[in-house]
Chains A and B, each alone.
Chain A
Amino acid sequence: MFIILVYDVNEKRVNKVLKTCRKYLNWVQNSVLEGDISDANLKKLKIELSHIINKKEDSVIFYLLRTTKYSKREIMGLEKGGENMFI
């Protein structure tokens, strides 16, 4: 499964959320990450995030795509991050 994760959390917790997400997904730009993830790992990620965020103040959105076949990614301006199998 491919997911796009966006978050808007209180400054105090931004770093923690970012660090957690980077274990599972590729950073794309500020507050946005994306990548392939298994069902089990998505569950793990959700649990980890739910321990960090404050549900009354913060918001994390997951866009779940079963496949990326019918989607296209276009960039305007800089490409800041994303997935690359070559480094």
Chain B
Amino acid sequence: MKKSIYIFSDGELHRKDNTLFFEGENGRKFIPVENTSEIMIFGEVSLNKRFLEFISQSEIILHFFNYYGYYVGSYYPREHLNSGYMILKQAEHYNDDNKRLYLAQKFIEGAYKNIRQVLKYYQNRDKDLEDIIYCIEKLGELINGTLSVNELMAIEGNIREYYYKSFDVILNNRDFEFDVRSKRPPKNSLNTLISFGNSLMYTTVLSEIYKTHLAPRIGYLHSTNFRRFSLNLDIAEIFKPIIIDRVIFSVVSKNMIKKDDFDDNAEGLILKERGKKIFIEEYVSKLTTTIKHRTIGNNVSYRRLIRLELYKLEKHLMEEQGYEPFLAQW
């Protein structure tokens, strides 16, 4: 499996000897091109066109994050899997309200069932979550009866509100209290972790979309607009609870990230470099963890699961097989 590289130091990226070369304050290092799928850039890195050309040729995608750890954008190289057919199919399913609603409902259904699974896991570990699960299940029953994407989004918002309340019960840590969801900038440490994790998730899904025929600009739950990619946001909904939230629970409850890993400047809280690295390390090890896949019968990693999700979507769009979201069984 090709790997992701995370650059925190400042320096220059070059093409050298037909491979990637990083020259920075802490030394110089070659990065194997053939074994790299994406590069996440957090530091101040300069690069030139020759490098971008080489990156495009090698089908490596660059994701940039600013000083605060927010996603800035990606260098999304020329698409190598060009399929006009797939774009038309995607647009067809977007323009037809019923077809679009069906897919949007499936994404929310996936997100809802995975959220429920995460909560059940903690309920079995003697956390008092019965009321929250009850409320979420009540809301979950409404998903299939919704008549518009906006109505669906409202239900999803309510589910998340209850869900985030459960974080306090699960973590039971005074340094990480949830309060309310706040973004741009996040106002407390838990919100900071959620935001940071979600932006990592979005970029991972985007990188996986790049390896398929799908056009990332056409999303179903998140409406398509002039500004940003939206299909990756849709697919990320399904995986956020089982990947990001579980990483958050483990870094907080194992005391890996502590209160002093956050810096409060610029009105909100940001994660310091040490915290970011610990979080990413947990996240990457989660992505590479393999599970036995029920239908394939083989061991697949979480990262692979994301790609399989996209293939299922392709099949649905081509009307070969109806799309069913991935549901965690544990």
Contact = CB atoms under 8 A, between A and B. Distances in A.
Interface of A: 19, 22-27, 35-38, 41, 44, 81, 84-87
6 contacts: A26-B30, A37-B35, A41-B35, A84-B29, A85-B3, A87-B5
Nearest to A41: B34
In the A-B complex, list the 8 residue pairs whose CB atoms are closest, starting with the nearest: A19-B17, A23-B19, A87-B7, A22-B30, A24-B34, A86-B6, A22-B19, A23-B34
Nearest to B9: A87
B34 A44 contact: yes
Nearest to B19: A23
A42 B270 CA distance: 42
Which of A24, A38, A87 lies at the interface centre, i.e. has the most chain B CB atoms within 10 A of its CB? A87
Given A36-B3, A86-B6, A27 B30 contact: yes
Contact of B18 (A23, A38, A86): A23
Given A19-B18, A86-B277, A24 B4 contact: no
B18 A87 contact: no
B157 interface: no
Contacts of B33: 23
A33 B30 CA distance: 12
B32 A23 contact: yes
Contacts of B19: 19, 22-23
B17 to A, nearest CB: 4
Contacts of A24: 32, 34-35
B22 interface: yes
Given A19-B17, A85-B3, 9 more contacts: A23-B18, A35-B32, A36-B3, A38-B1, A85-B5, A86-B6, A86-B7, A86-B280, A87-B29
Q: Say what secondary structure dominates the interface of chain B.
A: mixed
Given A19-B18, A22-B19, A23-B18, A85 B4 contact: yes
Interface of B: 1, 3-9, 17-19, 22, 24, 29-35, 277, 280-281, 284
Contacts of A86: 6-8, 277, 280
A28 to B, nearest CB: 12
B123 to A, nearest CB: 33
A13 B22 CA distance: 24
Contacts of A26: 30, 32
A87 B24 contact: yes
A64 B2 CA distance: 18
A22 B32 contact: yes
A35 B5 contact: no
Nearest to A86: B6
A29 B187 CA distance: 46
Contacts of B34: 23-24, 41, 44
A7 B26 CA distance: 28
A9 B4 CA distance: 32
A39 B1 CA distance: 10
A37 B3 CA distance: 10
Nearest to B18: A23
Given A19-B17, A23-B34, A41-B35, A85 B9 contact: no
A38 B1 CA distance: 7
A49 B9 CA distance: 33
A56 B3 CA distance: 36
A22 B24 contact: no
A41 B32 CA distance: 11
Given A85-B5, A85-B6, A36 B35 contact: yes
A57 B132 CA distance: 71
